[in-house]
A and B are shown apart, each in its own frame.
Chain A
Amino acid sequence: MSTATVAPPAWALKVEGLGRIYGDPSPESVPGTGPESGTVISPATGAVVAAWDVGFEVAPGEALGIIGESGSGKSTVMRCIAGDEDATTGTINLRGVGDGTVDVRTLDPSARRGLRLHQLSAVYQDPAAGLNLDVTAGGNIADPLTAVGWRHYGRIRERAASLLRRVEVPLDRMDDLVRTFSGGMRQRVQIAKALANDPPVLLLDEPTTGLDASVAAGVLDLLRELLEETGVAAVVVSHDFAVIDLLTRRVLVMQHGRVVESGLTDQLLEDPQHPYSQQLVAAARG
């Protein structure tokens, strides 16, 4: 057994060969699906190949975008990384877990859930998915803090207040139930909660979709600042090129469960290669 010390990898998150099939997970389900076939449904087994052969690395301080229409598999990929569901195949490594030598898919469910405390956080499109609406803004942030052992009420409140201040939620709303908050404000609370334990990896799933344009712009500005300041490695899943353009440096384009193109974000916008990417960009340009 080799015990030689290996330098930790440059990436914070690495995904290789990730696949997620709903239904028959056997290899027969894969042929006949994907962009060339124009479908994610296996002609042989009827299984849904929601994502297949997805791979990428994200460095600390870097934001990677995944763009595609609904049903392209981008959110599936995010949920598989977050541990909300288990991939059918592939590996997911985090630098914070065994210096990147451990495929987190091999961890037991409890350890896998534990990653959400220190190693990665997710912000969902629907704040109700990431927050308890019947708990105060401060209480929602107290959740991840107490989960890692914070037991001092005053310090929990200080930390919650500083996070809420950072996401520009007025402190006089700290003790109000999140249910009474506007959509944009809820999203800010969700972001504050996700950042509570300074995770090295942050997953953002359509973080501004569903918000009014002006509200969305404010949340995007905030996210952009946070990504720059915190040095977090981020994966931004969105159908909206404006979001991807503002937040990310590199991007993957997904269609029918596959990555059809990847590149620097400005290159994808200015010189898309794949027909589907060109179609997306043309649509975004109106």
Chain B
Amino acid sequence: MTTLQPSAPPADLPAGSVLSVRGLRKDFTLHTIDGRVVEALHGVDLDVAPGEHVALAGTSGAGKSTLLRCVYRTYLAGGGHIWFRTAAGDLVDVAALPDATVADLRGHEIGYVSQFLKAQPRRSVLTTVASAGTARGMARDAAREAAAAALRQVGIAEHLWDMHATVLSGGQKQRVNIAAGTIAPPRLLLLDEPVSALDPANRSAVLDLIARLERTGTAVLSVFHDLDAIERLATRVVVLGGGRVLASGPPEQILRDSSLPLEVAR
């Protein structure tokens, strides 16, 4: 069993950051394949402030999704710290918190939106989105209103709202998913290719929705498979390569730096 040792946060963390990753390491030991070790992250440092949208860039296999999943604790960090500042102002190390505490944080303060909707069975589209709001403390009526607005925004036609979310198409599910994930924005939102399956029009609507999060003070850490989305949304780009941070800076500077290994998809 993995023992997680709590330790005190270092004094030099940026005062305003919601997320401060320090020395994050991750590798995978594949016991079913003769104990082969696959290395993923080799000591990543990263900060995200409220209202900031940090996009991760880099080639496939650079560790972008791995980093997101470590922050969400879907992957267990192999070393280093993931400092998260809670709404109550406490700095906690997500890499070392008990499972139950992480589960509570996920419910209230850290959101994760992937391209896959894990919808409750037999629950209508509107309820799926609204209950994401009530789960984060919105009043029932306000949540339904916000859900309706979010669904309109991402182009889910009203006649679909009463249907079970599980019967929707892949693209529709993805949009419901992003609507649910953003209706009551958490302090930290992790976006893992949330627009990958969308046609241009819907993609644009969803990107607009994400762009608005900036105003709510939500800190966003994202992975997009196209540089266009990054350019449009990110306030800062962090380039990963070989499990390390290669560069960090404003998108207009980073995305034009031809020396950096970026996924080419424009």
Q: How many residues of A sit at the interface, in one of the four size bands?
A: 20 to 34
Closest to A279 in B: B32
**Can you give 6 A-B contacts (C-beta < 8 A)?**
A225-B120, A225-B121, A267-B73, A273-B2, A275-B31, A275-B32
Q: Are B100 and A59 in contact (CB under 8 A)?
A: yes
- Using A225-B122, A266-B74 as known contacts, say yes or no to A57 and B100 having CB atoms under 8 A apart: yes
Closest to A228 in B: B120
Q: Are B122 and A262 in contact (CB under 8 A)?
A: no
**Which chain B residues numbered 1 to 40 have a C-beta less than 8 Å away from chain A?**
1-2, 28-32
Q: Are B1 and A278 in contact (CB under 8 A)?
A: no
Distance of B27 from chain A, by nearest CB (Å): 11
Distance of A219 from chain B, by nearest CB (Å): 11
Selected contact of B103 from candidates A220, A264, A271, CB within 8 Å: A264
The distance in angstroms between the C-alpha atoms of A275 and B28, with both chains bound, is 12
**Which chain A residues numbered 201 to 232 have a C-beta less than 8 Å away from chain B?**
220-221, 224-225, 228
Which residues on the B side are within 8 Å of A275 (C-beta)?
31-32
Distance of A157 from chain B, by nearest CB (Å): 27
Distance of A50 from chain B, by nearest CB (Å): 20
The distance in angstroms between the C-alpha atoms of A29 and B121, with both chains bound, is 46
The distance in angstroms between the C-alpha atoms of A263 and B122, with both chains bound, is 28
Q: Are B103 and A270 in contact (CB under 8 A)?
A: no
Q: Are A267 and B31 in contact (CB under 8 A)?
A: no
A67 interfacial by beta-carbon distance below 8 Å: no
The distance in angstroms between the C-alpha atoms of A262 and B4, with both chains bound, is 12
Which residues on the B side are within 8 Å of A249 (C-beta)?
103
B102 interfacial by beta-carbon distance below 8 Å: yes
- Nearest 4 A-B pairs (CB), nearest first? A275-B31, A221-B121, A271-B75, A278-B31
The distance in angstroms between the C-alpha atoms of A259 and B120, with both chains bound, is 29
A260 interfacial by beta-carbon distance below 8 Å: yes
Give B71-106 as 1s and 0s: 1 = Cβ < 8 Å from A's Cβ atoms: 001111000000000000000000000011011000
Q: Are B75 and A270 in contact (CB under 8 A)?
A: yes
Distance of A194 from chain B, by nearest CB (Å): 20
The distance in angstroms between the C-alpha atoms of A279 and B33, with both chains bound, is 10
Closest to A245 in B: B118
Which residues on the B side are within 8 Å of A279 (C-beta)?
31-32
The distance in angstroms between the C-alpha atoms of A260 and B1, with both chains bound, is 6
A250 interfacial by beta-carbon distance below 8 Å: yes
